[in-house]
Amino acid sequence: MKSLDEMVLECMLDYKKWTFWELHNAIKERHNRFFQETSISAAVRNLRKPQVRRALNLPSDGEIVIRESRKPRKGNTYRLNPKIIAYRKGLDSNG
């Protein structure tokens, strides 16, 4: 069974902007599992932690998640740093 960190990363690998609510709905639809927005927020933060980066094959340095304000609406959106595309392609081509 996938961890919440894995499910959040799986959603965010489309490199689009996500709100916690959108991640909540996507995880519920794809995995038939329910998590509160606070748990999803924690999972997004976890993607920055060294042990999670290693476990999910993310770069060991640099920004993983980019947070942007949703002006004029409240809240923020979150997306993976586009530099991760090249990093992950390098992993795929190296075996």
Query: Mean pLDDT across the stretch 6-32?
Result: 96
Q: Could you give the CA distance from residue 1 to residue 45 in angstroms, rounded to a whole number?
A: 21
Q: Which value, in Å, is the radius of gyration of the alpha carbons in the chain?
A: 13
Collapse the DSSP code of 67 into the 3-class scheme (helix H, G, I; strand E, B; otherwise coil) and give the result.
Answer: strand
pTM: 0.88
Contact 47, 5 (CB under 8 A): yes
CA distance 63 to 74: 23
First to last CA, the chain: 24
pLDDT band at residue 93 using 50, 70 and 90 as cut-offs: low
What is the percent of the chain where pLDDT is above 90?
Answer: 77
Q: How many other CB atoms are found less than 10 A from the CB of residue 71?
A: 8
